[in-house]
């Protein structure tokens, strides 16, 4: 897989300085182990694990920082954690955890990440899974437990789009 160089990480100013001091570019973060990052960033193991996960997830085509953060929010810290998962079920779990239903395109991303975890196929992007999602939802719908409020009805969304 071609290495992405445009990954984004929510580093503190101190963490940025630590990387600079050690002459480590942000694009090189995925090359390190958690314990190495812990030392390089002068951080806790948990923080280094999160930063590494955010970087690794963004190595997958069409996965950016926001979706990488969503995966960490769901409790995933490595691509292999997503092997044998189900993109539709992950979507449903995510919606319950967030308390609102999400943009359907996010389900396409869940499907992409599961596909990648199982195959390491870097030729696919999230929109390659749109038809699969639409067919699945047409046949299976959504669970009765799905939140009633949509993402665009949330206060956070409204604040960002004022």
Q: pTM of the prediction?
A: 0.90
Share of the chain above pLDDT 70, in %: 95
Residues 70-80 have pLDDT tens digits of 999 999 999 99
Question: Does the structure show a pLDDT above 70 at 3?
Answer: no
3-state secondary structure the chain: CCCCCCCCCCCCHHHHHHHHHCCCCHHHHHHCCHHHHHHHHCCCHHHHHHHHHHHHHCCCCCCCHHHHHHHHHCCCCCHHHHCCCCHHHHHHHHHHHHCCECCHHHHHHHHHHHHHHHHCCCCCCHHHHHHHHHHHHHHHCCCCCCCCCEHHHCHHHHHHCC
Provide the pLDDT confidence category of residue 2 given band limits of 50, 70 and 90. low
Mean pLDDT of the chain: 93
User: What pLDDT score was predicted for residue 6?
Assistant: 86
User: What pLDDT score was predicted for residue 155?
Assistant: 74
Between 39 and 155, where is the model more confident?
A: 39
Beta strands in 54-154, from DSSP E residues, in sequence order: none
Residues 28-68 have pLDDT tens digits of 999 999 999 999 999 999 999 999 999 999 999 899 999 99
Q: How far apart, in whole angstroms, are the C-alpha atoms of residue 60 and residue 116? A: 8
Beta carbons of 62 and 104 less than 8 angstroms apart:
no
Q: What are the domain boundaries of the chain?
A: 1-59, 82-162
Give me the torsion for CA of 83, 81, 112, 161, rounded to 10°: 160
Residue range 78-103: mean pLDDT, rounded = 96
Question: Does the structure show a pLDDT above 60 at 1?
Answer: no
Closest CA to 43 of 12, 7, 79: 12
Provide the pLDDT confidence category of residue 109 given band limits of 50, 70 and 90. very high
Closest CA to 41 of 31, 29, 59: 29
């Amino acid at each position: 897989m071609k290495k992405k160089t445009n990954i984004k990480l929510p580093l503190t100013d101190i963490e940025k300085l630590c990387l600079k001091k050690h002459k480590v570019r942000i694009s090189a973060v995925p090359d390190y182990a958690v314990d190495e990052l812990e030392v390089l960033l002068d951080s806790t193991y948990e923080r280094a694990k999160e930063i590494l996960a955010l970087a690794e997830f963004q190595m997958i085509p069409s996965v950016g920082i926001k979706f990488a953060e969503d995966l960490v929010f769901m409790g995933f810290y490595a691509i292999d954690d997503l092997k044998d998962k189900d993109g539709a079920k992950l979507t449903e779990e995510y919606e319950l955890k967030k308390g609102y239903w999400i943009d359907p395109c996010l389900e396409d991303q869940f499907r992409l990440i599961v596909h990648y975890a199982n195959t390491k196929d870097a030729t696919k992007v999230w929109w390659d899974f749109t038809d699969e999602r639409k067919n699945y939802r047409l046949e299976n719908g959504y669970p009765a437990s799905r939140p009633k409020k949509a993402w665009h009805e949330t206060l956070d969304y409204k604040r960002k789009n004022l």
